[in-house]
Structure 1
Amino acid sequence: MRCLLLVLALAAFARAQEAPPPASTSAAAPSKPVQVFVMLGQSNMLGFGRVGPSELQGTLENLIQKHGKYGFWKREDGSWVVRDDVRYVRVMQKGDAMGVHANEWLTVKGNFGPELGFGQVVGDALDAPVLLLKSCIGNRSLGWDLLPPGSERYEFEGQIYAGYKDSPLSWAKGTVPVPIAWYAGKQYDDDVANAKKVLAELPKYYPGASSYEIAGFVWWQGHKDQNAAHASRYEQNLVQLIQMLRRDFGAPHAKFVLATIAFGGEKLAGHGLQVAEAQLAVDGRRGNYQEFAGNVAAIDARPFWREVELSPMNQGHHYNQNAETYMEVGLALGRAMVEMLGAELPRQGEARR
């Protein structure tokens, strides 16, 4: 009998883990269109910022308790602030289906990405309900998995590299490509489709909402493009990405913010530096594209790198899981977005409790 009960309990737990989180309904139905920010990228957009414990250098708890930072995420009773004006939804492709990994009001819960800083700034600045819609998965390159529609084949060092919908990644010039079970842009297609699924059922993800506007896109990606071929095309691919996202979401005037890669901080070199420079090249204030003035902003994340001795662990490709890095990147992205939207930036240190 005990064995049967144990089996039933484990089965119920497994079903609960697979089921999409229900939408909580603690806030009143919004009277204005929900301002949607679509967040895209790879694993650092997903987030590896460590929350605790407080004794460990570089965790969020440590930074709040020992260094007096980011107190806007703590209530006076020590509990985490829950923003009932900023909704956070995270979806990810799982086989042939969409997995829902978060559907809740923005708060601190497990490892985090730039959404905590970004949501705090944007939520304080906008007089409208906000939805942070994160649709991404780790270990994906812009030059292959996330390649946007309209991207063409190109030649690099005797290899032909895939254009959108081509397969495989590359093949020797003069040979016939042999397709594999993946194609250039497959992750782009999945991430965009999943975000649209959420928006098509908006009240399921933002309780009481009946309308929305795509206010902006947030991009943090680049680790997997640190190779000669992909780095050489990163700027061109990024320009195409911005244009195609606006087209595919029917939001030609939506703002676009991105953070550079920053592995090693100012020591970033080689193909990594090439990718970061390509990311800065699309900045509308000082980049190469006049048409992006006032609607595209790139923030240099290298100053936010923290060394291993100040961090929870030695994991450079995830910024050593340092909460300060993830929070500062998010805050900087939020400020850049708010400035482009023409809203007033919240005062330094201002917090909702």
Structure 2
Amino acid sequence: MEKNTRRRSIATTLAGLAFAAAPIASAESKAWDNDPDGVKVFILAGQSNMVGYGKTEDGGNPEWEKGKKDVPKEIKGGVRCLREMAINDANYPEYDYASLLEDPSQPQTSAWKTRSDVKLWWRHGGSGKLGGQIRKGDLGPLTSTGNWFGPEYGFGQIIGDYYKDDEVLIIKTAWGGRALASDFRSPSMVKHRGGEVGPFYKAIFDYSHEVLDKLGEEFPEWKGKGYQIVGFAWHQGFNDRVSKEFAPEYKDNLPDFIADVRTEFGNPDLPFVIASTGMGNAGPVEEPPYEGYTAVEKAQLWATGVGKPAKVLSIDTRPFWSDPKDSPSTMGHHWNHSAESYFLIGKSLADRMVTLLEE
């Protein structure tokens, strides 16, 4: 895409979204806190798969999977919803899913645990628009949307266990259908390749300020406490992956984005973890150098010749793909709504984050 064409495209996007935008906080925002004894803050950002569509109670119907088309695809407690995974915990050795229940001895009926030591704050971005309703509270599978969960759920389990003596806040800044090349376009991308700074890039920091500048109001139990921004997690890329214009640029846009995020948060070494865009029938799992992977996946896995910044780790998410016949749905670009896929993405992001924190 020519630079002038991109400028027009982004200007159109900005104009179309202006009516939905939340108030911009930057001009009046406080400086970022950096209290080592404060709440540990993680920013989770991206598009719809960071929004999250992991099914909590509804899963795939085994009868439908047998080819019976006169039965519903999804049923309560069906395959690869979180409930089924807790009931059949032995079939999912990668995590103790029964431990997520209030009463593991009654997995079919037990309520889900929430964690008061790990909290979530999110302006609902499932519609792809700015200015959504605030969702916040103790982390649980229903905290984010009331029905589904995203990578924050698995991420919060690992990080919460890691910070045994600290409190954790996850700020989710995620919106459906948004591209790095336009919507999340950062200042360095503009400097190097033209265009305009994207409104969703700005919103990452505006929304973070919105909660952190008044932390004691948003979470009264933390009144008087400081905070420390500890890490950033990124799961995004589908819109870039399917764009002939945006996909080749991702390898250059991603390191610019990382550098700008770190500059904005005032930490050039801020730990940064990335979950690749391996959903939606991307293809079979490969070993490096990922010859058969898409341009965006290669960029996310640093297989394009562009140098990987320090304190950055990526995960190949293709191993987390669940076949449609064994999943709650056939919506490939949303991981077929598999609770296992979303949980493992979050868990793996957290595992990589812990590795960086311990370096």
- TM-score normalised by L of structure 1: 0.74
Residue in 2 aligned with 1:72? 99
- Deviations along 1:263-306, one digit per CA (max 9) or x if unpaired, are 225438999711001001189xxx853641xx111011000000
Change (3 A) 1:342 1:140: same
Change (3 A) 1:96 1:139: closer
| Residue pairs, 1:10-49, within 5 angstroms | 32-49=37-54
Residue of structure 2 aligned with 1:229, choices 226, 241, 245: 245
Residue of structure 1 aligned with 2:81, choices 56, 59, 75: 59
1:106 aligns with 2:139: yes
Residue in 2 aligned with 1:255? 271
Provide the secondary structure at the position in 2 that maps to 1:81.
coil
| Residue pairs, 1:1-353, within 5 angstroms | 32-53=37-58, 54-68=76-90, 69=92, 70-76=97-103, 78-92=110-124, 98-109=131-142, 110-126=147-163, 127-152=165-190, 163-165=194-196, 184-209=197-222, 210-226=225-241, 227-263=243-279, 264=281, 266-267=283-284, 273-281=294-302, 288-289=306-307, 291-292=309-310, 295-342=311-358
Tell me the amino acid that sits aligned with residue 156 of structure 2.
Answer: G
User: Please, which moves more after superposition, 241-250 or 116-125?
Assistant: 241-250
1:223–1:272 CA contact under 8 A, matched in 2:
no
Tell me the amino acid that sits aligned with residue 122 of structure 1.
Answer: I
Provide the secondary structure at the position in 2 that maps to 1:128.
coil
Q: How many Å separate the matches in 2 of 1:101 and 1:281? A: 35
Q: Give how far 1:47 is off.
A: 0.4
- Deviations along 1:188-245, one digit per CA (max 9) or x if unpaired, are 1123211221111111233333211110001000000022221111021110111111
Q: Percent identity?
A: 32
- Deviations along 1:297-340, one digit per CA (max 9) or x if unpaired, are 10110000000011001100001000000011111111110111
Tell me the amino acid that sits aligned with residue 273 of structure 1.
Answer: T
Structure 1 unpaired stretches of 5+? 1-29, 155-161, 166-183, 344-353
2:282–2:293 CA contact under 8 A, matched in 1:
no
Q: How many Å separate the matches in 1 of 2:209 and 2:153? A: 23
Tell me the amino acid that sits aligned with residue 152 of structure 1.
Answer: V
Q: How many Å separate the matches in 2 of 1:321 and 1:200? A: 35
2:188–2:257 CA contact under 8 A, matched in 1:
no
User: Please, which moves more after superposition, 141-150 or 58-67?
Assistant: 58-67
Structure 2 unpaired stretches of 5+? 1-34, 59-75
Q: Give how far 1:85 is off.
A: 0.5
2:233–2:273 CA contact under 8 A, matched in 1:
yes
Provide the secondary structure at the position in 2 that maps to 1:267.
coil
- TM-score normalised by L of structure 2: 0.73
Q: Which runs of 4+ in 1 moved over 4 A?
A: 92-97, 268-272
What is the aligned-residue RMSD (CA, Å)?
Answer: 2.8
1:32–1:129 CA contact under 8 A, matched in 2:
no
Residue in 2 aligned with 1:349? none
Query: How many residues are treated as equivalent by the alignment?
Result: 284
Residue in 1 aligned with 2:14? none
2:189–2:257 CA contact under 8 A, matched in 1:
no
Residue in 1 aligned with 2:18? none
**Which one has the largest radius of gyration?**
1
